[in-house]
Amino acid sequence: MIRQHGGLGYEPVSELQAVGLCQTGTVFEQQVEIVHEGQTFRCRRIVVKLMRPTRDQELEIAIFTNLPPTDADGILVAELYQGRWSVETLFQTVTQNFHGEIETLAYPKAALFSYSMALSAYNLLATIKAVRPAVYMG
């Protein structure tokens, strides 16, 4: 699965058809062909028309996949891809708030240690956030 970005062109093979609902919106699917470096790839294009815009104010996302519908229908593909958002948000938070990537660290072991400490700090913060409601209720 990859997200469709502006520069990635495709040629529709079938019309966009509604396939159902997921947690964040309505899911549509179509067959497409992508030409890349002289090779043609046939795949499915999954579009989620979102109920709420993304942090970049996008109202829909599109995902290309070569998974057959028998293995993963359009709704499952949309849900799996959206699960990735939480992981991307985690890494963005670690990088921005915990300064997990310090550019002045020229030594790979030092950079890895710094990033590990940032991830540990994030895990500690997430644990405190998860436990806090239980402490107030008790």
Q: Which amino acid is at 7?
A: G
Instruction: Classify residue 48 by burial, with Cβ atoms within 10 Å: 0-12, 13-18, 19+.
Output: buried
Q: What is the pLDDT of residues 101-116, one digit of tens each?
A: 566 656 777 777 877 8
Domain that holds residue 125: 98-137
Whether residues 72 and 119 share a domain: the answer is no
What is the chain's Cα-based Rg? Answer: 20
Per-residue pLDDT at 137: 59
User: What size, in residues, is the chain?
Assistant: 138
In a domain, 47, yes or no: yes
Q: What is the pLDDT of residues 46-101, one digit of tens each?
A: 999 999 888 778 899 999 999 988 888 999 999 888 877 667 777 777 777 766 55
Per-residue pLDDT at 64: 93
In a domain, 130, yes or no: yes
Whether residues 42 and 9 share a domain: the answer is yes
More confident residue, 30 or 110: 30
Whether residues 69 and 11 share a domain: the answer is yes
